[in-house]
Chain A
Amino acid sequence: MRAHPANYELVAPGGLSAVLSLLAKERGVWLPIAGGTDVMVEYAAGKLPARKLVSIWNLPELRRIEVFPGEIRIGAGCTYTDLRVHDMVGREFPLLANAASWTGGIANQNRGTIGGNIVNASPAADSLPALLVYEAELILVSANGERRVPYSNFHVAYRKTRLAPDELIRAVCLPRCFSRYYAHARKVGPRKAQAIAKVCLAAQARLENGVVEDIRVAMGSVAPVPLRLVRTEDSIKRKPIDAALLRLARQTTAAEIQPIDDIRSTASYRAAVAGNLVAEFLQALSTRGMQG
């Protein structure tokens, strides 16, 4: 451990409103810590700039999954294990359930939260492409009240979000309108478990009369932020799945992403695999996808 514990302060006020008033009183001073699976890694490396931490772990207000007729509201403090064992998440939002099951190991899944994954804002985060595909909305909360914002433009740059310093994510809202979609996810990591994605894909689409009626594709680790591939989607929409479409899909994917060379992989590999994943998805869609 390369940090000195005496240099840090950790408080656990226990209730959401107490946390929010602390965040409001000393704006930008307190860093919320939920499961700590990102924060503690930085801490151990001696690279955590924040000195004052406020625990939001297991706040009841953040750890609920509420089901409404039109949407499901997942508390930001829900862990990957919470998501994996929840029936409806598994049934209606398999991309998210899958991503949860691929995140770290069991210990990590018992601590890591969806809110932490969003705010930590790694481009390689596993759950975020699923949230883009489901067109999630976030409920943000501060001492001044709540606001509801689309998730699609929450990430503004590499590891920068629209969250204000006195705000928390309270919940992630997913609309319940995807029953007729064929969903497909794949994580390409350097090993089968305990891996940071080199490329990961979450996608779903609806086929009607042999043409792709609607499609949503999102990827991780191919740009500074988790990326929805809007142009690729447009190039595929309302077309039949054939060899020409697969070719086009690969091309538009490659043009739309901005992968880099880093210690984990190469840009050219990521670009090729990204194209392959989209093609694989379309092929699976054409053979197994639901006809609406």
Chain B
Amino acid sequence: MIGVKDERIVGTAVPRLEGREKITGQARYVDDMVLPGMLYGATVRSRIPRGKIKKITFGPEINWQEFVIVSAKDIPGKNCVALIEDDQPCLADEFINHPEEPILLLAHEDRHLLPKAVEAVSVEYHPLSAIFTMEESESRSEIIWGANNTFKTILIDKGDVQGVWEKAHYIVEGEYRTGAQEQLYIENNGMIAAFEPQQGLTVWGSLQCPYYVHKALMELCGLPPGRVRVVQMETGGAFGGKEEYPSMIAAHAALLALKSGRPVKIIYDRMEDMAATTKRHPSRTRHRTAVSKDGKILGGTIEFTIDGGAYATLSSVVLSRGAIHAGGPYYWPNVRINAKAVATNAPPHGAFRGFGAPQSIFALERHMDRIAQVVELSPIEIRRRNFLKPGQTTTTGQAVSEPIDLGRLLDRALELSNYSAKKDEFARQNQNGNCKRGIGIASFLHGAGFTGAGERYLSSVVEVEACEDGGVRVLVSSAEFGQGTKTILCQIAAEALGLRYEDVRFAQPDTQEVPNSGPTVASRTAMVVGKLVQSAAIGIRQTLRASGLLGESYSAEEFRIACRKYVAAHGKLRSLARYEQPEDIVWNEEKYRGSAYAAFSWAVYIAAVTVDLTTYSVSVDDFVALQEVGRVLHPVLAKGQIIGGVAQAIGFALYERVVWDNGRMQNAQMTNYIMPTSADLPPIRVYFEEMGNVHGAFGAKGIGELPMDGPAPAIVSAVGDALRTFFNSIPLLPEDIFDAIAGKGENAEHAGSARGNP
């Protein structure tokens, strides 16, 4: 490992930087902020999944004179939420493509008057027929987007798949599905916008990616970069749910502010937030795999399809990550992965922790269990025989360069979970009684940072500043939303400079103040941004030394004095670091070949469950989460990330179902959209291996998304083990288990469909 011995701050559990403010209620969230003369905004949405707007009428019960009303006509620039493709209008002008589509905006001083006013607007439509499933979209009976309802297709082709089928001893097929999932951050989405003729447009909000919002507002308002300012307020959770949608809300607040000349606040209530904003993409994966007599994967095809909803938004990149992770931590000598994102008339699905990987990994891990059944090997053995080894290549042809030993990781997880003893014990106990117990496993990987050439395009910049008072400031657009960004980046700067953690401050992400260190997504902050902070910090020290103010070794106090002197003599001292892609990271976007990620984190998770046959409900009794994530920068925050991710994935697996009706979410309340509470969670036992990594700060890799990938397949495997039934979809609710047992489930089979060569 890299220099662990010498580190004083990295790897220790320093207090969370903003912890005291949050606990004492001093932290300021957007809804805590009130500007003089501020209005409140609300959104009039379509109520049909697809159609053409015929007429809008304003009911007589409202005094409309008092309201600011904004329609698409009021947009000064381009009517779109600029992101990857500019297909999503900020306000529907003519066509409606999903049942929560914004049409008009209203603002008033009294926020309580808005709901009634929203109700009083009636929209007449020419309805058009709509589609709601991936299958309907693929059938193209109705074209709702582009030429063929397809946002993006990706082909990953390695080796010669054609040739594998005849060599196969077994050919194993399966189809697997995952459902939509709501992020359910504690703080709902919210934004304030204000326009001052002098300064331009400013928005304050709950968000992950200040510069995404910045870009969207420039396009929408036709303003130059210097006249748009985006400030991230304290953000109460995000999970990807505040990656792209805040641009929409910021745009709405901005339009109302421009028209009224007053600041405007828009805060979604829980119902609106759940119904209208993005969710995890539902997915369908089909596997066909050629397997040798001894259980080795010879090759296979994987069709990975996700439902993107009505507009392209981030679907192409979610698809990309999902497709690249579809082969998991196994060696595929030959593989063809066909991935596509299709359109339906639901609100666009979007970023959510894991970003496509939890979907394709669920499918793969279930499929590995199915292969195990067909080959008559244990789920352990089938994985062991197919694990990627250093030097072998992933599905995109990326050679595994780290000395990872997945077999050893597996052995340790088996030991920690007491796997084989439990397996025997459960088999004995399950002969009697109404409660059946089972144990299941998943092994997986997660790539850190943007996919492929993404980091090169982002070309992130960070700055570290030596301040007048002798302290040091970290300036990045990377946002804190509960995961620990502020803390770890300050740890890194303090470590790099040999200062105390308390000597480093974190600048509020504000596009007028901080450089663009990229979006706070993709498990990239610790590795990519962290490394840049480390370099920029070193730059400060070099400057101070070069100017003769700092010796070879120095105390924290000497450093402070040097900073003060420097600033007094020369003015502001900022050191900048810009990302440069290492030369060994080469990616071919056209062929989808090369180094998809600078580094992978690796994990083996094991779940033990009980299924109660009186109620068909599952409880997770024990959970072992073992992972190799490079250097753990902060043991408590890292453990928190894993526990939280596992909990969220337990929801994904067993509890959270979006009930759809014609593209609308029917259960947009926390009463009826069931996320697990602490009472439903097992002890989650977290273990780290730290192999180090050359690309990240002090050897760190990504950690935020990894724990979302593995729990669902491990748990569903355990349920299958308990009931001797194979389940292939999530969410797996008691009703589904009942249907499977009563013999009418579509979600289960008692044996895998497979054919063995004689």
Contacts and interface: CB of A to CB of B under 8 A. Distances in A.
Interface in B51-105: none
A5 B112 contact: yes
Contacts of B614: 273, 276-277, 280
Interface string A124-146: 00000000000000000000000
B160 interface: no
B680 interface: yes
A188 interface: yes
B674 A191 contact: yes
B269 A188 contact: no
A45 B116 CA distance: 12
Interface stretch (B248-256, B405-413, B542-550, B734-742): B734-742
A276 B735 contact: no
Contacts of A277: 614
B112 A268 contact: no
A263 B115 contact: no
Interface residues of A, number: 28
Contacts of B757: none
Contacts of A2: 115, 269
B677 A269 contact: no
B735 A265 contact: yes
B113 A4 contact: yes
Interface in A1-34: 1-6
B667 interface: yes
Given A191-B676, A263-B672, A272-B742, A46 B615 contact: no
Interface string A174-192: 0000000000000010111
A191 B680 contact: yes
A264 B672 contact: yes
Contact of B674 (A1, A3, A190, A272): A190
Contacts of B116: 4, 46
Contacts of B110: 4
B736 to A, nearest CB: 9
Given A2-B115, A4-B112, A190 B738 contact: no
Nearest to B655: A191
A255 interface: no
Contacts, number: 69
A106 interface: no
A153 interface: no
Interface in B124-147: none
A196 interface: yes
A190 B677 contact: no
Contacts of B655: 190-191
B398 interface: no
A193 interface: yes
Given A1-B269, A265-B735, A188 B677 contact: no
A2 to B, nearest CB: 4
B615 A192 contact: no
Interface in A40-59: 45-46
B680 A273 contact: no
B659 interface: yes
A75 B708 CA distance: 49
B26 interface: no
A188 B115 contact: no
A276 B615 contact: yes
A1 B738 contact: no
A110 interface: no
Given A269-B616, A272-B742, A1 B112 contact: yes
A190 B617 CA distance: 8
Contact of B667 (A263, A269, A273): A263
A234 B739 CA distance: 30
Contacts of B734: 190, 198, 269
A198 B667 CA distance: 15
Contact of A188 (B615, B666, B675): B615
Interface string B603-627: 0000000000111110100000000
Interface in A223-261: none
Nearest to A280: B614
A45 B271 CA distance: 9
Contacts of B613: 276
B659 A263 contact: yes
Given A2-B269, A6-B112, A192 B679 contact: yes
B432 interface: no
A269 B674 contact: no
Contact of B616 (A4, A46, A191, A273): A273
Interface string B476-519: 00000000000000000000000000000000000000000000
A186 B154 CA distance: 50
A3 B615 contact: no
A269 B738 contact: yes
B621 to A, nearest CB: 13
Given A3-B112, A276-B615, A268 B269 contact: no
Contacts of A280: 434, 614
B204 to A, nearest CB: 22
Interface in B714-758: 733-735, 738-739, 742
B431 interface: no
B679 A193 contact: yes
Interface in B660-685: 666-667, 671-672, 674-677, 679-680
A46 B120 CA distance: 14
B615 A273 contact: yes
Contact of A268 (B619, B672, B738): B738
Contacts of B672: 196, 263-264
Interface in B576-598: none
Contacts of B666: 263
Interface core residue of B675, B677, B742 (most chain A CB under 10 Å): B677
Contacts of A269: 616, 734-735, 738-739
Interface string A55-94: 0000000000000000000000000000000000000000
Nearest to B615: A188
B624 to A, nearest CB: 21
A38 to B, nearest CB: 12
Contacts of B659: 263
Nearest to B678: A193
Contact of B680 (A1, A5, A192, A263): A192
B667 A192 contact: no
Given A263-B667, A268-B742, 6 more contacts: A45-B271, A192-B680, A198-B734, A272-B616, A272-B738, A273-B738
7 contacts: A1-B112, A2-B115, A2-B269, A191-B655, A192-B680, A269-B734, A272-B742
Q: Which 8 A-B pairs have the closest CB atoms?
A: A4-B112, A192-B679, A2-B115, A193-B679, A190-B674, A276-B614, A269-B735, A188-B615
